[in-house]
Amino acid sequence: MTDPHVATVHAPHPTGARTAVAAAPPRWTVAAVAELFALPFPDLVYRAQTVHREHHAPDAIQLSTLVSIKTGGCPEDCGYCPQAARYHTGVESQAMLDVAEVTAAARAAKAAGATRFCMGAAWRGPKARDLAAVVEMVQAVKALGLEACATLGMLKEGQAEALRDAGLDYYNHNLDTAPEFYGEIIGTRDYEDRLATLDRVRDAGLHVCCGGIVGMGESRLQRAALVAQLANLDPYPESVPINHLVQVEGTPLHAKLGGESALDPFEFVRTVAVARITMPKARVRLSAGRRELGEAIQALCFVAGANSIFYGDRLLTTGNPDVDADRALLARLGLSAQA
């Protein structure tokens, strides 16, 4: 039976996603995704949990650890980011970590139970010498038996292939928000730049990690448009991080929103549920903002289909629940780390 919430027309997406082909899965329209958001909360969560159980172990959570290998000094103007050089957030530009430091961090992450190690750098995109250093880091992480992920900004021709040859498993490059809201948040790169990097990553044979940030003042319809963009990537991402905006003093979004959350926490759970329904096989990851959401909302997110978390007391420059707190929460919920 055809799902009434799925658009079955295979045509170029008006907002820039790849053109569908005959073998592609049905494409989600923004209107269809918005209908999911509008479902009564119990119905939406029940549907998401049903989809989740069809594709994933219901009690398994994948643990990823994210480490900043190059902090601060970024030339971009992302309105949420404390690492932008133009903002006064107290984040100082630091030199790139060396391979030994990254290896030690990866070893500690593995000992704590993480299975994926993600390396983030505050660059517009890596220079040749930067990429050579990252290649060594990827090789060191893989030698420890961990999955390796990197988020380094926009990639040029050949760079994704170099990372693949080093053993990289995933490349993260978020769309951040809907195309219609994007210009309110970022002016130094456009949506097509992000899609071009995702194309390079996919063409190189790497897995894609791509999600967004909610709570930046966007509307529900714009959240639906973000999810539609993600779900209409061909194929959709293997990992989908959902970030709840952490407002950092000194950033434009902190000034605009006044430090108060712009998002009802139940709307965050709805976003997770809709992501699960539209991208059933993906790992949907609770990312930035977990500490601010609290344990009860996190638990609802797991029921709604989230099955991955960023694990460790730091996410690049913002705080995160510590390892012991996460272990205790998972134990209380009867959930276990996926081996």
286/219 Cα distance (integer angstroms): 20
Q: How many CB atoms lie within 10 A of CB 244?
A: 25
74/189 Cα distance (integer angstroms): 13
CB 37 within 8 A of CB 224: yes
- Across 155-299, the runs of DSSP E, i.e. the strands, are 170-172, 207-209, 212-214, 239-244, 283-286
Q: Which residue has the tokens 């059933």?
A: 280
Q: Kindly write down the DSSP assignment for every residue of 2-29, as one continuous string.
A: --TTSB------TTSPPPP-TTSPPBPP
Which long-range contacts link 50-59 to residues 24+ away (Cβ below 8 Å)? 51/276, 51/277, 51/280, 51/305, 52/276, 52/280, 52/305, 52/307, 54/280, 55/280, 55/281, 56/307, 57/338, 59/334, 59/335, 59/336
How many residues in total does the chain contain?
A: 339
Q: Which residues are identified as catalytic?
A: 74, 78, 81, 118, 149, 209, 285
- State the Cα torsion 141-143-149-155 to the nearest 10°: 90
CB 88 within 8 A of CB 138: no
